[in-house]
Copies of this chain bind each other. A is one copy, B any other.
């Protein structure tokens, strides 16, 4: 079922995903995209401020994206394109072995001023671990299709 802007209720929530981040997965990502010592080498990480190997915050955000595409609103809402992200905060570290789950909440929606066939949707995304630590919060902004004819109603 394709959900248009009109089909989304502000305040609706869902929770999904169980992505376990292994040490090798964590290190491979960081070597490519965030090669800081506390992300790429278990021994070097001991000498750094975190004192432990931790995941790149970018990888945590990317895992949230994967889960939203496969199991969340990006699977059923009629997205035109991603617009951006506001207020992203890395609130706690992610460690090898952590299992990540996404909580999404529909925050706001409004018709586009420039194109009546579209609207802007704002979604709060929170990433939590299996032991219920909130590791990342952010607001995603997407351009979404309105139901055909909705602008004329």
The chain A residues found within 8 Å of chain B, CB to CB, are 32-36, 49-50, 56-58, 61-63, 65-66, 69-70, 74, 80-90, 138
Contact = CB atoms under 8 A, between A and B. Distances in A.
13 contacts: A33-B62, A33-B66, A34-B62, A34-B66, A35-B70, A36-B69, A50-B81, A58-B58, A83-B90, A84-B87, A84-B89, A85-B85, A88-B88
Given A57-B82, A86-B88, 7 more contacts: A32-B62, A33-B62, A33-B65, A33-B66, A35-B69, A50-B81, A84-B89
Q: Count the copies.
A: 2
Contacts of A32: 62, 66
- A32, A36, A61, A84 pick with most chain B CB within 10 angstroms: A84
A36 to B, nearest CB: 6
A143 to B, nearest CB: 10
A98 to B, nearest CB: 17
B61 A58 contact: yes
Contacts of A87: 84, 86
Contacts of A86: 86-88
A35 B106 CA distance: 22
A32 B33 CA distance: 14
A135 to B, nearest CB: 12
Contacts of A63: 33
Contacts of A49: 80-81
Nearest to A54: B81
